[in-house]
Amino acid sequence: MNKPVTSPPTAGAPNHPAPDSAATSPLASLETLLAARPAAASPLAAPAQTGDARPRPLEVVQASAVRPPACPDLDADLLLVHAGTPEGALAQTWTRRVLDGARLHTARFQENVGEQVQLLLPQVVLIQFEAPVLDLATHLVERLRISHPHLPLVAVGCMKHPQATLAALRAGVQDFIDLDGNAQAAQQAVQELVRRTPATAQDGHDSAPLTAILSARAGLGSSLLATHLAWYLQQRIAGAGTAANATSGLDEGDAALETLLIDLGNPSGDDSLYLDVGNEFDFIEAVHNLRRFDRRMASAGLARHASGLRLLGLPRQPGRLREISYADVDLLVLRLRQYFTHVIADLGAVLQTSLATRVALRASQVWVVCDQSVTSVVSTAELLAQLSEQKIERGRVQLIVSRHDARVELDAQQIARQLQLPLLAVIPERRAALAQAINQGRLLPATLRREPYVQAVDQLAGQLLASQHGQHNKAGPPPPAGGGTGGLARFIQRLRS
């Protein structure tokens, strides 16, 4: 048998055998598995100098006079949406010259303009209206009027083409800028729109926080965590909101919607089973009714738990997901965040191209659930790489270690260090208690103060309340959850806790 070829030992280096304990350590095994992942590309090396390396004499460049901006008083962010055609390039050049002084951003109709609006927060959106792209421009105006009703929309085109002018006016733009017209008139029109809507750029910050909970593998308890968290948070916010309504004289119909749980896990419907509520109006129907989806529909159409928690889930037929576009999903999520105080999205086990990843891209914070097994940690590392490819900032991602057992050698801090994530919470191993409660058709109520699982999840709800909803942070303990309101029920509840 041929002996394996080994490299000779380096001179002067001690030749100590590796200890046997490292081979059996789960941390060493985990490091080996994670190290097997492809390394990140190294920075490009500086190009090597060729030829004569002697320094060349400096060239003296004549400085040119700085041209003042054409519109120095226009201190605003503008977004121009064009077709990418020669006419679109002409509109872009004309706009840059006439509205010089503003911060002009550009996008094409083929791109996700709604995403650009959410990221850039422009004070005015300029939309090219030309004969080849009238349908695209009209459709974009309709969508922006739904998602951003207070955002000024201005058409850009040539009034010598009456078809484009008529289409723009029918679509509902606030003004029409004529590329063949007076530049001063265009400047005054945009300045007036900016002055009349000074708070438009802040609309993106008025939406409710969105907390996304996901895992790399199924069966890690992320859906149970999301359901309990949404329920506890609903009780806390509703308790403070009821007191506020009583002092302000608002009736129940005028009160704000508190907490929404979006169930996008696979298989769908787990959260509705945990909460014991129906799911007749699903996520796909909400997208199809986006044009008339208002606060009243959100209040009356979404499934409602006895605590006031609303639920919106996927249909049982996964094939219906092909009926919707990512742009419509973005608009629906934005609309829901305008109506509710807090939105929690149960994304389940996420695939790279899934709908859930799209919602995670819009989330205020992303909580990744992982347990103490090496396979779960490796899968979570791959999930984090996928999230990075989807442009989800690592600063928004935090780690939750579920089913934690102190007897297992791989502890939560080691997992956090290996994944290079901040450790947000540790959920104890309580599968038996959870299964017993679920089999009885209920969740673990927040009043079970001695239950370790309740303590951990309720602490997460308190952190969300303190960091995202300071106005509700003075609320007392959550009200008793279900099971009656009489003295006997309270006595039994006290015995259980």
Distances (CA, A) of 165 to 157, 178, 292, 369: 8, 9, 27, 53
106 and 227 belong to one structural domain: no
CB 101 within 8 A of CB 72: yes
Q: 2 has which bridge partners?
A: none
192 and 134 belong to one structural domain: yes
Give the residue, 9 or 319, on which the prediction is more confident: 319
Decide if 202 is inside a domain.
Answer: no
Query: What amino acid occupies position 118?
Result: Q
Mean pLDDT to the nearest integer, 259-269: 90
317 and 464 belong to one structural domain: yes
Q: What percent of the chain has pLDDT over 70?
A: 74
CATH of the domain at 161: 3.40.50.2300
Element (H, E) at 418: helix 412-419
340 and 265 belong to one structural domain: yes
Please give the Cα distance from 53 to 161 (Å, whole number).
60
Block residue for tokens 């590796």? 18
Give the residue, 352 or 346, on which the prediction is more confident: 346
CB 263 within 8 A of CB 272: yes
221 and 190 belong to one structural domain: no
Give the residue, 182 or 331, on which the prediction is more confident: 182
CB 254 within 8 A of CB 246: no
For residue 326, give the nearest of 294, 358, 288 by alpha carbon.
Answer: 358
- Mean pLDDT over the full length of the chain: 79
In this predicted structure, the answer to whether residue 240 has a pLDDT above a threshold of 90 is no
Q: 261 has which bridge partners?
A: 311, 344
Structure pTM?
0.63
282 and 391 belong to one structural domain: yes
Task: Name residues whose C-beta falls within 8 Å of residue 113's C-beta, 6 or more positions apart in sequence.
Answer: 79, 81, 107, 140, 143, 144
The first and second tokens of residue 256, run together, are 């704000």
CATH of the domain at 300: 3.40.50.300
Please give the Cα distance from 203 to 150 (Å, whole number).
9
In this predicted structure, the answer to whether residue 489 has a pLDDT above a threshold of 60 is no
Find the helix packing angle between 222-248 and 452-468, rounded to 10°. 50
188 and 221 belong to one structural domain: no
Please give the Cα distance from 414 to 459 (Å, whole number).
22
Decide if 56 is inside a domain.
Answer: no
Query: What amino acid occupies position 470?
Result: G
Strand-pair category, 153-157 with 423-428: unpaired
Decide if 57 is inside a domain.
Answer: no
Top-ranked range on mean pLDDT: pick from 24-38, 39-53, 95-109, 195-209: 95-109
CB 120 within 8 A of CB 77: yes
In this predicted structure, the answer to whether residue 378 has a pLDDT above a threshold of 60 is yes
pLDDT score, position 8:
47
Confidence of residue 194 (pLDDT cuts 50, 70, 90): confident
pLDDT score, position 414:
95
Please give the Cα distance from 162 to 299 (Å, whole number).
43
Helices and strands in the chain, H and E counts: 18, 13
Sheet strand arrangement including 310-313: 303-304, 310-313, 257-263, 340-349, 210-215, 365-370, 397-404, 423-428
Find the helix packing angle between 134-147 and 326-339, rounded to 10°. 20
Query: What amino acid occupies position 491?
Result: F
DSSP secondary structure letter of residue 251:
-
pLDDT score, position 322:
77
pLDDT score, position 278:
84
Peptide bond connecting 209 to the previous residue in cis, omega within 30 degrees of 0: no
Decide if 16 is inside a domain.
Answer: no
Q: 348 has which bridge partners?
A: 214
Confidence of residue 317 (pLDDT cuts 50, 70, 90): confident
Please give the Cα distance from 220 to 218 (Å, whole number).
6
Scanning 219-282, the segments in alpha helix (DSSP H) are 222-248, 270-275
Range of the domain at 89: 77-196
Dump pLDDT digits (tens) for 44-66: 344 444 445 555 544 444 444 44
The first and second tokens of residue 399, run together, are 């780690």
316 and 463 belong to one structural domain: yes
Task: Report how many domains make up the chain.
Answer: 2
DSSP codes, 437-448 = HHHTT----TT-
Residue ranges with strand state E in 187-328: 210-215, 257-263, 303-304, 310-313
CB 253 within 8 A of CB 408: no
Mean pLDDT to the nearest integer, 404-424: 94
Dump pLDDT digits (tens) for 74-91: 778 899 999 988 888 999
In this predicted structure, the answer to whether residue 404 has a pLDDT above a threshold of 90 is yes
Decide if 220 is inside a domain.
Answer: yes
190 and 270 belong to one structural domain: no
260 and 285 belong to one structural domain: yes
Decide if 483 is inside a domain.
Answer: no
From the number of C-beta atoms within 10 Å of its C-beta (0-12, 13-18, 19+), residue 405 rates as: exposed
In this predicted structure, the answer to whether residue 191 has a pLDDT above a threshold of 60 is yes
Find the radius of gyration of the CA atoms of the chain: 29
Strand-pair category, 310-313 with 303-304: antiparallel
From the number of C-beta atoms within 10 Å of its C-beta (0-12, 13-18, 19+), residue 211 rates as: buried
Decide if 33 is inside a domain.
Answer: no
Give the residue, 59 or 449, on which the prediction is more confident: 449
Mean pLDDT to the nearest integer, 4-31: 52
179 and 307 belong to one structural domain: no
Confidence of residue 204 (pLDDT cuts 50, 70, 90): very low
Decide if 58 is inside a domain.
Answer: no
131 and 227 belong to one structural domain: no
